[in-house]
């Protein structure tokens, strides 16, 4: 399906940039427009795939292009004040070709954390197309202020979008990695999942169209409310071998049975792996309200029976009757994959932990501020011996 991507803040811009690069690599044709919004000039300058006219600097009169320094209330204020500048860039997007907007932001900082929910409210007011969010949670070691920002933004962003796909930096961190290379790798993992999911609903007329190909409306119907998470698993197949097997299968029914059986089992097992492996936001799968199973790979590997079995298995795991399934054929691909989208998830330990640390941070910060005000007053107190100048 066709998306207008809007990256808000540094993380948002970088992820949109990586998304565009990935979309080009796989020929996904998902990105109809890519816009980056920031309060920091330097962050916008670093982007490669967002055209200069689609880089929108906001809040110049307040922060002079230096960012909002993790103050997300200021981020929200600046976004509300300059929303017309963002709209000018969106006005250039051919909205009639769009299936949805996707606003991407790191929720721990200031600009994206505060600005993304403001933009979501604005877009919902103007357009009929769904507005999705892609929110990145900070690592637990980033400190109280990032956690507090993320918890407050998460609450607001979830309320303002049609669905918030969440990526937890904490769950995707690897030991021994520098922050920068860690982000680069996480961003690749993130855009691979989100990019392939949306590309599945964008099979163009020239592509091989399978019988049960996923349609944009199935993604839209799955992403109807609340919080969403994505799982992905792949297995290599030798495209030459699969071609040979297909040729052999035409002449030998037992080989045909063997190959089909293998393809069915492969897809079913990949659906399980994608669901039970690392999700973009780890959660209890049973709490999902809706789901979508997409099998991707060379057309002759996409067993309908496998998809159906995977779909039924996910129905049992979630207890939901709204699990959709389909395929995304990629002729010539050398691997088969399963993408699992779970939406409306409600049992998410990481969110509960984020919220309780945020509440603690808020209480501690207020106590420190009150104490500091008292301490300063007593430091300046000269028992009436000295007067202030004015
Ligand atoms: N996954 C991922 N997370 C990132 C990346 N860059 C920053 N983050 C996370 O995003 C949060 C910080 O948000 P930023 O986007 O840097 O901040 P900002 O929105 O530009 O806001 P200010 O810098 O305060 O003006 C932190 O929690 C980081 O962990 C990235 O490239 N990938």
Indicate if 163 and 270 belong to the same structural domain: no
Whether 279 has a pLDDT exceeding 50, the answer reads yes
Indicate if 221 and 193 belong to the same structural domain: no
Strands (E), the chain: 3-8, 31-38, 55-57, 100-106, 131-137, 163-168, 227-236, 290-297, 323-329, 335-343
What tokens were used for 296? Answer: 């991707």
Q: Is 320 helix (H, G, I), strand (E, B) or coil?
A: coil
**Domain with 24 in it:** 3-199
Whether 326 has a pLDDT exceeding 60, the answer reads yes
Express as a percent the part of the chain with pLDDT over 90: 79
Q: Is there an atom of ligand 1 within 6 Å of 108 CB? A: yes
Task: Give the distance (Å) from ligand 1 centre to CA of residue 136.
Answer: 8
Indicate if 123 and 13 belong to the same structural domain: yes
pLDDT score of 252: 46
**Of all atoms in ligand 1, which is nearest to the CA of residue 40?**
25
Distance CA 230, CA 282 (A): 9
Mean pLDDT of 235-259: 55
- Please state whether beta strands 31-38 and 3-8 pair in parallel, antiparallel, or not at all (unpaired): parallel
For the domain that residue 84 is a member of, what is the CATH number? 3.40.50.1440
CA dihedral (303, 309, 312, 318) positive or negative: negative
Q: Are 200 and 296 in contact (CB under 8 A)?
A: yes
Indicate if 14 and 43 belong to the same structural domain: yes
| Closest among 78, 36, 40 to 53, alpha carbons compared | 36
- Answer yes or no: is 289 within a domain: yes
Q: Is there an atom of ligand 1 within 6 Å of 70 CB? A: yes
Out of 38-47, 89-98, 230-239, 276-285, least confident range? 230-239
- Answer yes or no: is 382 within a domain: no
Q: Are 167 and 200 in contact (CB under 8 A)?
A: no
- Please state whether beta strands 55-57 and 100-106 pair in parallel, antiparallel, or not at all (unpaired): unpaired
Whose Cα sits closest to atom 7 in ligand 1?
Answer: 11
pLDDT in tens, 68-81: 999 999 999 999 99
For the domain that residue 238 is a member of, what is the CATH number? 3.30.1330.20
Task: Give the distance (Å) from ligand 1 centre to CA of residue 137.
Answer: 9
Q: Is there an atom of ligand 1 within 6 Å of 9 CB? A: yes
Strands (E), 190-241: 227-236
pLDDT in tens, 329-362: 999 999 999 999 999 999 999 999 999 999 999 8
Q: Is there an atom of ligand 1 within 6 Å of 138 CB? A: yes
pLDDT score of 365: 87
Distance, C-alpha 151 to centroid of its chain: 16
pLDDT range class, residue 207, cuts 50, 70, 90? low
Q: Is 284 helix (H, G, I), strand (E, B) or coil?
A: coil
Mean pLDDT across the chain, nearest whole number? 92
Q: Select from 16, 40, 47, 109 the residue to mutate for testing ligand 1; criterion: most ligand atoms less than 8 Å from CB.
A: 109
- Answer yes or no: is 271 within a domain: yes
Indicate if 46 and 111 belong to the same structural domain: yes
Task: Give the distance (Å) from ligand 1 centre to CA of residue 106.
Answer: 5
Residues 6+ apart with CB under 8 A from 95: 4, 127, 129
Whose Cα sits closest to atom 3 in ligand 1?
Answer: 11
- Answer yes or no: is 317 within a domain: yes
Can you give the C-alpha Rg of the chain in angstroms?
Answer: 24
pLDDT range class, residue 211, cuts 50, 70, 90? low
Indicate if 229 and 192 belong to the same structural domain: no
Q: For the whole model, what pTM was predicted?
A: 0.93
Percent helix, strand, coil in the chain, to 5, is: 55, 20, 25
Indicate if 192 and 248 belong to the same structural domain: no
Indicate if 227 and 169 belong to the same structural domain: no
Indicate if 151 and 15 belong to the same structural domain: yes
Indicate if 65 and 102 belong to the same structural domain: yes
Whose Cα sits closest to atom 12 in ligand 1?
Answer: 109
Biggest distance spanned by C-alpha atoms of the chain: 106
Q: Is 208 helix (H, G, I), strand (E, B) or coil?
A: coil
pLDDT in tens, 217-232: 999 999 998 999 999 9
Single residue among 150, 165, 199 that ends a domain in this structure: 199
Q: Is there an atom of ligand 1 within 6 Å of 111 CB? A: yes
- Answer yes or no: is 64 within a domain: yes
Q: Select from 6, 58, 136, 180 the residue to mutate for testing ligand 1; criterion: most ligand atoms less than 8 Å from CB.
A: 136
Whether 94 has a pLDDT exceeding 60, the answer reads yes
Task: Give the distance (Å) from ligand 1 centre to CA of residue 105.
Answer: 8
Q: Is there an atom of ligand 1 within 6 Å of 40 CB? A: yes
pLDDT range class, residue 370, cuts 50, 70, 90? confident
- Answer yes or no: is 355 within a domain: no
Indicate if 48 and 158 belong to the same structural domain: yes
Out of 54-63, 108-117, 204-213, 365-374, least confident range? 204-213
Q: Is 313 helix (H, G, I), strand (E, B) or coil?
A: helix
- Answer yes or no: is 209 within a domain: no
pLDDT range class, residue 209, cuts 50, 70, 90? low
Q: Are 356 and 342 in contact (CB under 8 A)?
A: no
Q: Select from 6, 8, 9, 11 the residue to mutate for testing ligand 1; criterion: most ligand atoms less than 8 Å from CB.
A: 11
Distance CA 225, CA 209 (A): 29
- Answer yes or no: is 389 within a domain: no
198 half-sphere exposure, CB direction, 13 A CA radius: 29
**How many domains, the chain?**
2
Q: Is there an atom of ligand 1 within 6 Å of 136 CB? A: yes
ipTM of the complex in this document: 0.99
Indicate if 103 and 223 belong to the same structural domain: no
pLDDT score of 206: 52
pLDDT in tens, 125-167: 999 999 999 999 999 999 899 999 999 999 999 999 999 999 9
| DSSP summary character for residue 213 | B
Whose Cα sits closest to atom 2 in ligand 1?
Answer: 183
Whose Cα sits closest to atom 32 in ligand 1?
Answer: 183
């Amino acid at each position: 399906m066709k998306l207008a991507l809007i990256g808000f803040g540094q993380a948002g811009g970088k992820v949109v940039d990586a998304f565009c690069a990935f979309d080009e690599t796989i020929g996904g044709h998902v990105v109809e427009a890519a816009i980056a919004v920031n309060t920091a000039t330097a962050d916008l300058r670093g982007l490669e795939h967002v055209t200069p006219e689609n880089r929108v600097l906001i809040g110049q009169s307040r922060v002079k292009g230096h960012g909002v320094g993790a103050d997300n209330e200021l981020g929200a204020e600046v976004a509300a004040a300059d929303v017309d500048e963002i709209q000018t860039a969106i006005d250039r997007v051919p909205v009639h070709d769009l299936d949805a907007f996707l606003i991407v932001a790191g929720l721990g900082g200031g600009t994206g954390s505060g600005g993304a929910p403001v933009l979501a409210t604005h877009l919902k007011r103007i357009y009929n197309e769904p507005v999705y969010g892609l929110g990145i949670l900070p690592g637990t070691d980033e400190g109280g202020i990032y956690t507090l920002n993320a918890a407050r933004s998460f609450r607001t962003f979830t309320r303002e979008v049609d669905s918030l796909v969440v990526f937890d930096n904490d769950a995707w961190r690897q030991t021994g990695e520098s922050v920068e290379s860690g982000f680069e790798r996480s961003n690749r993992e993130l855009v691979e999942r989100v990019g392939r999911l949306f590309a599945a609903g964008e099979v163009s007329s020239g592509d091989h169209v399978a019988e049960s190909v996923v349609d944009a409306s199935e993604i839209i119907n799955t992403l109807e409310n609340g919080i969403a998470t994505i799982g992905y698993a792949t297995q290599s197949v030798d495209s030459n071998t699969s071609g040979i097997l297909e040729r052999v299968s035409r002449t030998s029914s037992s080989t045909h049975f063997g190959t089909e059986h293998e393809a069915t089992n492969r897809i079913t097992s990949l659906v399980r792996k994608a669901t039970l492996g690392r999700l973009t936001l780890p959660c209890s799968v049973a709490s999902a309200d809706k789901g979508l199973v997409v099998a991707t790979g060379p057309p002759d590997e996409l067993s309908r029976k496998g998809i159906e079995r995977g779909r039924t298995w996910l129905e049992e795991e979630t207890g939901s009757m709204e699990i959709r399934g389909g395929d995304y054929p990629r002729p010539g691909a050398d691997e088969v994959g399963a993408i699992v989208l779970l939406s409306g998830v409600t049992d998410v330990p990481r969110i509960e932990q984020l919220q309780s640390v945020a509440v603690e941070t808020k209480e501690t910060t207020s106590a420190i501020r009150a104490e500091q005000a008292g301490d300063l007053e007593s430091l300046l107190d000269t028992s009436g011996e000295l007067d202030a100048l004015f």
